[in-house]
Amino acid sequence: METRVTNTNEAARSCVLRAGFAALAQLEPAPLHMIEIGPSAGLNMIWDRYGMRYRRADAVVMEIAPDAPLVLECEVRGDVVPPLQPPPVIADRIGLELNPVDLSDPDDRDWLRALVWPDQPQRLNRLDRAIALHRSSPPRILNGDALALLPDVLAGVPPQAAICVYHTIAVYQFSAAMKVELAAILAAAGQSRPLWHLSFEFDGTGYALTLTRHHAGQADRRSLAAAQAHGGWIEWRA
C-alpha cells in the first residue's frame, strides 16, 4: 500500500463502453483506432471480446456472444434500450498509462485482485476470468504520462483513419489544468479530421457516458447514458 497506487480495472464497465461504441458506429463507418487514457491493466481495451447479457428485471433484453469465455451482466434501466447492434470494426488499440499493471507478473495480478472490495466475490471471479482472456492476446499499452504521449500517438494514426480517444473513470485524477490540456489536445487533433471522444466519468451528480465529435474547431457533445460506476446498470438517455 505504501509503494503502489489505486489502479482498479473493472471489466464490467465494458458493458457501458460497448453501448457507447455501438452508438458511435451509427455515426462513423470507418475502422476505428482506439486510444484509451488510463487503462490500468487494459481489461477495458478488449471490451469487444467479452460476451454480454443485458437484463431488465428478469427478462434478457439482449445477449451478445453468450459462448464467450466471460459473459458480463448489466441491468437496463429506463424505457430506452441502448443501441446494441454491431460496434465499429477495430483497426488498432493502444493504451496510455502512467502506472501500467503487468498481468504477466503474479505480484501485479495480486495487487489488482486486492483492490476488489472484500464483500464482492463475484467481482473477483469476473476479474480472474477477464485477466485470463486478456493474457491470451494482450493489447499494447505505453508506459508514461498520457498527456505527453497522446499528441504523438494521434499524429501516428493514418490520416484517413477514424480515431476514438476514450476513458473510464480515469480523468477524475487529472487536475483542472490537465483537463484543459486534454481538451486542447483533442481539439487540435480534430482540426484536420474528425476525432471522437468517448468519456465515462463522474459529472458531479453521477457517472455519465458522453460522446463528443471534434472537427474543424467545433465540438459536438452528446449525452448518451447514466450508468453505475462498475457497469452494473445503464440507463440510456440519448
Beta strands in 28-123 (DSSP E): 32-37, 51-56, 59-64, 71-77, 90-97
Give burial (CB, 10 Å; 0-12/13-18/19+) of 233: buried
Residue 64 falls inside a structural domain: no
- End-to-end Cα separation, the chain, in angstroms: 41
Q: Which pLDDT belongs to residue 26? A: 94
* CA–CA separation, 46 and 18 (whole Å): 10
79 belongs to a structural domain: no
Domain that holds residue 128: 11-49+86-236
Confidence of residue 194 (pLDDT cuts 50, 70, 90): very high
Instruction: Tell me if 149 sits within 8 A of 142, measured CB to CB.
Output: yes
Whole-number pLDDT of residue 23:
96
Pairing type for strands 32-37 and 162-168 reads: parallel
Q: Residue 184: pLDDT above 90?
A: yes
The verdict on residue 65 lying in a domain is no
In a domain, 170, yes or no: yes
Q: Is the pLDDT of residue 39 over 90?
A: yes
What average pLDDT does this structure show over 132-159? 96
Domain membership of residue 57 (yes or no) is no
pLDDT bucket at 160, cuts 50 / 70 / 90: confident
Please say if the pLDDT value at position 159 is more than 90.
Answer: no
Q: Tell the residue number behind the cell numbers 454491431, with chain if given.
A: 86
Angle between helical axes of 146-155 and 176-189 (0-180°, round to 10): 0
Q: Is the pLDDT of residue 154 over 90?
A: yes
Q: Is 165 helix (H, G, I), strand (E, B) or coil?
A: strand
- Let me know if 71 is exposed, middle or buried by CB neighbors in 10 A (0-12, 13-18, 19+): middle
Residue 70 belongs to some domain of the structure: no
Instruction: Quote the CA–CA distance of 210 and 168 in Å, as a whole number.
Output: 11
- The pLDDT value recorded for residue 33 is 97
Whether 111 is in a domain gets the answer yes
For 115, the grid coordinates are 483492490
Q: Tell me, what's the pLDDT at 66?
A: 95
The whole-number pLDDT of residue 187 equals: 96
Average pLDDT over residues 216-237: 96
Q: Using the predicted structure, report yes or no on whether residue 58 has a pLDDT greater than 90.
A: no
Residue 161 lies in a domain: yes
Q: Which residues contact 85 (CB under 8 A, 6 or more apart)?
A: 22, 25, 26
The domain that holds 220 is classified in CATH as 3.40.50
Please say whether the beta carbons of 144 and 98 come within 8 A.
Answer: yes
| pLDDT tens-digit map of 65-123 | 999 999 999 999 999 999 988 889 999 999 999 999 999 999 999 999 999 999 999 99
- Segment 199-225, tens digit of pLDDT: 999 999 999 999 999 999 999 999 999
In whole angstroms, what is the distance from residue 180 CA to residue 53 CA? Answer: 37
What whole-number percentage of the chain has pLDDT above 70?
A: 100
Count of domains observed in the chain: 1
Mean pLDDT, range 132-161, rounded to an integer: 96
Contact 217, 187 (CB under 8 A): yes
